[in-house]
Amino acid sequence: MSSSSFLSANGQSKATTLNARASDDFAAKLAETQALLQRAAAEFSPVTQASSLGAEDVVITHLINSLKLDIPVFVLETGALHTETLALLERTEATSRAPINVYRPVHESVIQFVRHQGQDAMYKSIELRKECCGIRKMEPLARALQGQRAWITGLRQEQSSARADVPLQDDSEVATKNLSKFNPLAKWTWGDVWHYIATNNVDYNPLHDQFFPSVGCAPCTRAISLGEEFRAGRWWWEDEAAKECGLHVKK
């Protein structure tokens, strides 16, 4: 998707105004998503939603709350999130019907990494960046998913070429981990996401108003410019093929 939809003539318009464009079949997509979430709650308990507090994830949390589903939400508070993301986390904790569980990295592991590699180690090599992701994201993720039968993510097919074949339900890890993954927005467009946010007045990360379509850790996320791809602001100094932290990479 072209990043031109993020930019207005004066650069001041909000993300909802710029991006809220529902697909012709949005109603059918929404019904499919609602049915999938209801089935996940009914048939795959315990199930949890993984939220980065990005646009897709706030939509899913809103749907979970609206449908009054027994699906708690977890957030990986990596210790390197933007101030705007942390503020949204507080507001979400204060208003969500669904429980919001926050997982943080092992503090000593972070300190040791910074002590030996430096606070900007992620820029030095892909290996060090992935080691940082391992400490701040992957280890807390393992704790968050312990004992779960399924988890729910905001992955969409439109996000990148690596995600173009994301299914609504991914059972590829059932045999090894007894864990299914649901991607209820897999078929949604960016316009669909923002149409839902605008229509339902969903609270979202204000970084999206500053041309951050994808929001992660502060050192590893930047705004995108006209003509750049959707996830160009993530790990922008790396080769395109390396741009995953490991949360959604199949081994």
Q: Does an H or E element contain 151, and which?
A: strand 150-152
**What DSSP line would sit under 48-61, residue for residue?**
EEEE-SSHHHHHHH
Q: Is 245 a catalytic residue?
A: yes
231 is in an annotated binding site: no
CA distances from 134 to 10, 21, 70, 72 (A): 40, 36, 29, 23
Distance of CA 196 to the CA centre of its chain: 16
Q: Which of 152, 162, 245, 249 is catalytic?
A: 245
217 is in an annotated binding site: yes
Q: Which of 194, 125, 124, 121 has its CA nearest to residue 156?
A: 194
220 is in an annotated binding site: yes
8 Å CB contact between 62 and 34: no
Cβ neighbours of residue 62 closer than 8 Å, sequence gap 6 or more:
196, 200, 202
178 is in an annotated binding site: no
Q: Which of 98, 216, 74 has its CA nearest to residue 147?
A: 74
**Coil, strand or helix at 194:** helix
DSSP 8-state class, residue 217:
B
Alpha helices in the chain (DSSP H): 15-19, 26-43, 55-66, 83-95, 107-117, 126-133, 139-145, 174-177, 190-200
Q: Which residues sit in the known binding site for [4Fe-4S] cluster? A: 132-133, 217, 220
Q: Which residues sit in the known binding site? A: 132-133, 217, 220
Please list the active-site residues: 245
